[in-house]
Amino acid sequence: MRIVLTGGGTGGHIYPALAIGKYMRQQHQQTELLYIGTERGLESKIVPDSNIPFEAIEITGFRRSISVENVKTVIRFLKGTQRAKQLLKQFRAEVVVGTGGYVCGPVVYAAAKLGIPTFIHEQNAIPGLTNKFLSQYASAVGISFEQSSSLFPKAKQVSLTGNPCATNVLETRAGEGLKQLSLPRDAEMVIMVGGSRGAKAFNDALLEMAEYLPKLAPLTFVFITGELYYESTLAKLQAMGVRQSKNLIVLPYAHQMPALLRDAKLVISRSGASSLAEMTALGLPSILIPSPNVTNNHQEANARTLVDAGAAELILEKELSGKKLYATIERIFTNKDRLSQMSEAARKLAVPDAALRIDQILQAIKR
């Protein structure tokens, strides 16, 4: 099958597309892939490392206020659609898969106008503007949260597929993450991560909580700062007399995050869709601190899905403090039943075999 993947802007859109492409290559030897993105987006850096041919079109997103830039965006959309039609014809695409971000707009729309079957995947509980627009043209829509179905009233077909990114974390073996950090196999690890680039609010909370960390023993607290905050966070901890130890490990970045998650007892993180898919796949209890700086506040909506099911605790960033975070962690670990209940609730939310489900849809819509 000749598949065009498109999605961009953030890793939350790009990695699901790559996961779909990886699975299709593994299951079907004749699969050929092309990725269409933008030069400015993160996809232009990530995709080439995945050994997938990459082509770029020029497109920007609409501003939510009245602006002259929106007129320019319409012009770019029309030009991008024409460029996408050329690329789709040259590649002889049989199916187009869009995973969100404004670059999907002209590519999926062009495919629909050419009569090429299209599938769009929505990772978040609240759909993005582009996917909502495209749903009326797509052959099929895949969702990650069951309650999202009603938000695509014009779609021809909506299926609960889950997020294909969960596949990667399930491929890791127990013990690999602990070994990576030279920790014993019985270590109880808590991971705190504010995203690949880190988050200032997370770093501030850690510094406020530093004095309480010895009380969390024998837990091993693994804090991933992000490259930007690593040196300053270490310097501030050292100034406070807090050193790295078996109780506290500070890292700038985790290259093998799936392995760490596999061995964690609790994770403290944002509530991006791919992260939540990994957590539920592993049955991993969590404390979620949604980013307030996202479209439609979709991270809070994602988080509340887990909280309502009993799989997670929620702390809004405006309410985050080291004292509150410590109290939440302590409350979870002093009630072992609570930890196991959260784990079971998370596992019940997982949608198994997401990549397989998407594969079946692609086979069904392929012309």
Enclosing H/E stretch for 21 = helix 11-27
Rounded to the nearest integer, the mean pLDDT of the chain is: 91
pTM: 0.86
10 labeled binding residue: yes
124 labeled binding residue: yes
Cβ–Cβ < 8 Å for 98, 347:
no
- What's the pLDDT score for residue 127? 93
Distances (CA, A) of 81 to 130, 213, 312: 14, 54, 42
Q: Are the CB atoms for 172 and 262 separated by under 8 Å? A: yes
Asked if residue 101 belongs to a known ligand binding site, the reply is: no
What pLDDT is stored for residue 121 in this prediction? Answer: 98
pLDDT, one tens digit per residue, over 86-128 is: 999 999 999 999 999 989 999 999 999 999 999 999 999 999 8
Q: Give the model's confidence band at 75: pLDDT under 50 very low, under 70 low, under 90 confident, else very high.
A: confident
Q: Hey, which of 58-72, 149-163, 166-180, 234-248 has the most confident mean pLDDT?
A: 149-163
Cα-Cα-Cα-Cα torsion 236, 241, 246, 247, nearest 10 degrees, comes to -80
For 143-163, how does the pLDDT look when each residue is reduced to its tens digit (9 = 90+)?
A: 999 999 999 999 999 999 999
Query: Which band of pLDDT confidence, cut at 50, 70 and 90, is reported for residue 72?
Result: low
Instruction: Choose the weakest-confidence range: 11-25, 66-80, 91-105, 163-177.
Output: 66-80
CB distance 76 to 60 below 8 Å: yes
Please name which of 246, 240, 257, 266 lies closest in space to residue 335, comparing C-alpha atoms: 266
Q: Please state, in angstroms and rounded to a whole number, the distance separating the CA atoms of residues 273 and 299.
A: 8
196 belongs to an annotated ligand binding site: yes
The pLDDT tens digits for 259-315 are: 999 999 999 999 999 999 999 999 999 999 999 988 889 999 999 999 999 999 999
Residues 6+ apart with CB under 8 A from 240: 207, 210, 211
**What pLDDT, on a 0 to 100 scale, did the predictor assign at position 37?**
94
The pLDDT of 134-138, averaged and rounded, is 96
The confidence band for 254, taking pLDDT boundaries of 50, 70 and 90, is confident
Q: Which helix (H) or strand (E) holds 314?
A: strand 312-314
DSSP run (H or E) holding 160: strand 158-160
Q: How far apart are CA 96 and CA 118, in angstroms?
A: 5
Residue 61, pLDDT above cutoff 70:
no
**Is 98 known to sit in a ligand binding site?**
no
Q: For residues 33 and 27, give the distance between their C-alpha atoms in angstroms, rounded to a whole number.
A: 13
Which pLDDT value is given to residue 58?
86
Map out the domains of the chain with their CATH numbers.
2-163+352-365 (3.40.50.2000), 169-349 (3.40.50.2000)
Helices and strands: H and E segment counts in the chain = 15, 13
Does residue 61 have a known ligand-binding role? no
On the CB side of 14, CA atoms within 13 Å amount to 20
**pLDDT reported for residue 64:** 52
